[in-house]
Structure 1
Amino acid sequence: MCAYVFVRADMSACIRALTSVCVRAKGTFQINICETKNLIEAEGYPAEKHHVVTKDGYILEMHRIPFGKSSPNSRNRPVVFLMHGILGASNSFIYLGPEYSIAYNLADAGYDVWMGNARGTRNSRQHVSLNPDRNKSFFDFTFEEIALDDLPSMFDYMLAHTGQQKFHYIGHSQGGTVFLVLNSMSSAYHSKIASAHLLAGVGYQKNFPNYSLRTLALSADALYSVLWLGGSVELYPPGSTAMFGKSGSRGSIDDLFGIDTSSGLIAGAATKQIVHFGQNIRDKAFRRWDYGYVQNLVKYGKLSPTSYDLSKINIDVTLHYSLNDALLSESDVLLMAKDMPKATARKISRDSFTHLDYVTSKDVKVLLNDYIIQALRNS
């Protein structure tokens, strides 16, 4: 198939085709050419693959574009860290090819680009002792563990490897969520993050816009209990196109999340991650995992989960949002910007821009990427 694409289209089309094949292939790394590192190198860019182990044993894969095609290879390049959204992976940031993808744009603009992969995605579906195909406990995590364990592990590794003291952060969707969680619960990286750009970063859910998901969220806890007991602890395991394990239909995930499962951008996640978002949608809140009244008393010392306090985030943050986003409302973004001491809300200047357009629409370069690069230069 790839040879055909090379003849009939450009390199970027082939890369996107290979990415799609790689995701649909059974097994984590069955088709070697589809590894993100190889996809980057096929576009003519230098690429590196790194692994880091979290304190609780998850083996995370990171990808790096140390410099671009036209930018000099220097050791003192400013560092940018990119974090993907729910169900995604690092390939989200290279999907559109060198002309439009933010990872390539940043590399060509003179930045040292690092891309993370959260636990449970196809790139980070490994553990020092747990087998994800046999141990349900491998998927016993929410976005909070990604925030408090995965991000620090990757940040520390990246800074040590580059010798830099600071970096810029860019997160899409859940990549914004985990940034908010980490930096509201810990100030350890406030002085190390020079600036942050959250692309439809999901936090407050007081005005969640998707009616179908709002309705489903009412049964979040009951649904999770059934799924956990039934062993459906992973969304999109290798070789599957189903929303929950082997059952369900592709249409369900397409309709609810607006995701095209044939795009090659589905990398899997823990069911518990989705349910945590569901709890917040149900409760119109942004807070920690809800264990139920009794366990909440044990865990938090009160009946309800603790909310994430965004007023504690002392970092320059730009919240990019759009009016046609089915997973994030303008009013919630403005409320977050109001509560964060150094935050600015910025509306994308195309009203039809969707939640996934940040990584799938070619006009993202003009509407977003160019702005971010200029903002990084001025920071």
Structure 2
Amino acid sequence: MAPLGYHTTFPNTNLQKMLHDPTSLHETLKKADTFEIFPYEAYGPQQDIVAENCLGSIKLESICKELHVQKIMGLKEKDNSIADSRGGSTKTLIHWAQNIKNKKFHRWDLGESENKEMYDTKDPPEYPLKAIKVRTKIIYSSDDDMVKDTDIRALAKQMKNATARKVKRAGFKHDDFIDGQFVMEDVYNGIIQDLEHPKPLVIRTKEKKSNSISFSDIPWTALLALAGIVLCIAISLINCCCKKKKKPCTSESQQPNPRVFVRPKRPRV
């Protein structure tokens, strides 16, 4: 549901500005000893958690509000305790920001020098989506504020057996996939139906299956016999040519011309 992969165009311009420098943001979080969204150590098990403190600093509250973290986690009142809900790794957020900035779907960016050590390239390698052959259905919305529908379709195209289905309801946002008013009707019922009545597996491929036989399909014994026949024919042709060259030829002047008719001379009376 609405996978955050490719980001050639990021629809949320406000959040894009906040995540424009993933390296600096990561360093800021590390200095604050914040490695988790709603870090447990910072607030304790019964401390109220609000969106303003989700990254351990009130300076970063705008990112949390733009991500609708409180709504997604079901934290609609300030009396929700951390014992009832937990967050996630801040590294996931930074990795996402890297992909948004670079407009690619790649592995974690360690920096140019460390990338060379880890990946043997200065840039982090992109994920090989073409290697994914498992049947996959991607559900997306054209009004998603976190991922563009064109990027979703591009993601599905890279996978050999993936299909993409658009939510028909207008105004369906990213967080509506979790707690939307009509999410059961728009999304979940279709998922249940697909699981209960799966369609036959058909792997999509651009190349048409050819009926021609390749050399790899022919047994090696047959290839060996064929090579012997070709060799015999070649030797016979060479011998024939040599014999023709040795045969003496008569010059054109010595040969009678069959086309010239010589009339016999008549005796004089």
**Alpha-carbon shift at residue 210 of structure 1 (Å):** 1.0
| TM-score computed with the length of structure 1 as normaliser | 0.45
Secondary structure of the 2:165 match is: strand
Q: How does 1:116-265 map to 2 (within 5 A)?
A: 199-238=1-40, 239=47, 240-241=49-50, 242-248=53-59, 252-254=63-65, 256-261=66-71, 262-263=75-76
225 and 249 in structure 1: CA distance in 2 versus 1, 3 angstrom threshold: closer
Q: Which amino acid aligns with 1:258?
A: H
For structure 2, the 5+ residue unaligned runs are 41-46, 199-269
C-alpha separation between the residues in 2 aligned to 1:337 and 1:234? Answer: 30
216 and 251 in structure 1: CA distance in 2 versus 1, 3 angstrom threshold: closer
**Alpha-carbon shift at residue 217 of structure 1 (Å):** 2.3
**Alpha-carbon shift at residue 246 of structure 1 (Å):** 4.4
Secondary structure of the 1:235 match is: coil
Partner of 2:160: 341
C-alpha separation between the residues in 2 aligned to 1:373 and 1:235? Answer: 31
Q: Is the 8 A contact 1:233 1:245 kept in 2?
A: no
For structure 1, the 5+ residue unaligned runs are 1-198
| TM-score computed with the length of structure 2 as normaliser | 0.62
260 and 248 in structure 1: CA distance in 2 versus 1, 3 angstrom threshold: same
Secondary structure of the 1:346 match is: strand
C-alpha separation between the residues in 2 aligned to 1:300 and 1:271? Answer: 23
208 and 305 in structure 1: CA distance in 2 versus 1, 3 angstrom threshold: same
Q: Is the 8 A contact 1:259 1:356 kept in 2?
A: no
Answer yes or no: is 1:298 the counterpart of 2:122: no
**Alpha-carbon shift at residue 250 of structure 1 (Å):** 5.1
C-alpha separation between the residues in 2 aligned to 1:376 and 1:346? Answer: 15
Q: Mark the structure with the bigger radius of gyration.
A: 2
**Alpha-carbon shift at residue 232 of structure 1 (Å):** 2.1
Answer yes or no: is 1:311 the counterpart of 2:122: no
Secondary structure of the 1:318 match is: strand
Q: Which amino acid aligns with 1:208?
A: F
C-alpha separation between the residues in 2 aligned to 1:266 and 1:323? Answer: 30
**Alpha-carbon shift at residue 266 of structure 1 (Å):** 5.8
Secondary structure of the 2:190 match is: helix
C-alpha separation between the residues in 2 aligned to 1:343 and 1:301? Answer: 30
- Count residues with an aligned counterpart: 180
Q: Is the 8 A contact 2:18 2:63 kept in 1?
A: no
C-alpha separation between the residues in 1 aligned to 2:24 and 2:68? Answer: 24
Answer yes or no: is 1:270 the counterpart of 2:101: no
C-alpha separation between the residues in 1 aligned to 2:58 and 2:101? Answer: 24
Secondary structure of the 1:228 match is: helix
C-alpha separation between the residues in 2 aligned to 1:321 and 1:260? Answer: 22
Q: How does 1:97-116 map to 2 (within 5 A)?
A: none
Secondary structure of the 2:58 match is: coil
C-alpha separation between the residues in 2 aligned to 1:267 and 1:352? Answer: 28
C-alpha separation between the residues in 2 aligned to 1:369 and 1:343? Answer: 18
Partner of 1:36: none
1:264-308 per-residue CA deviation (whole Å, 9 max, x = no partner) reads 696212221101100000000111111111000000000000111
Farther-moved stretch of structure 1 (272-281 vs 258-267): 258-267
Secondary structure of the 1:359 match is: helix
Secondary structure of the 1:226 match is: helix
1:48-70 per-residue CA deviation (whole Å, 9 max, x = no partner) reads xxxxxxxxxxxxxxxxxxxxxxx
Q: How does 1:36-47 map to 2 (within 5 A)?
A: none
C-alpha separation between the residues in 2 aligned to 1:219 and 1:252? Answer: 13
C-alpha separation between the residues in 2 aligned to 1:249 and 1:296? Answer: 28
Q: Is the 8 A contact 1:287 1:306 kept in 2?
A: yes
Q: Which amino acid aligns with 2:64?
A: I
1:31-59 per-residue CA deviation (whole Å, 9 max, x = no partner) reads xxxxxxxxxxxxxxxxxxxxxxxxxxxxx
Q: How does 1:43-58 map to 2 (within 5 A)?
A: none
Q: Extract structure 1 runs of 4+ deviating beyond 4 A.
A: 249-252
1:49-94 per-residue CA deviation (whole Å, 9 max, x = no partner) reads xxxxxxxxxxxxxxxxxxxxxxxxxxxxxxxxxxxxxxxxxxxxxx
251 and 222 in structure 1: CA distance in 2 versus 1, 3 angstrom threshold: closer
Partner of 2:172: 353
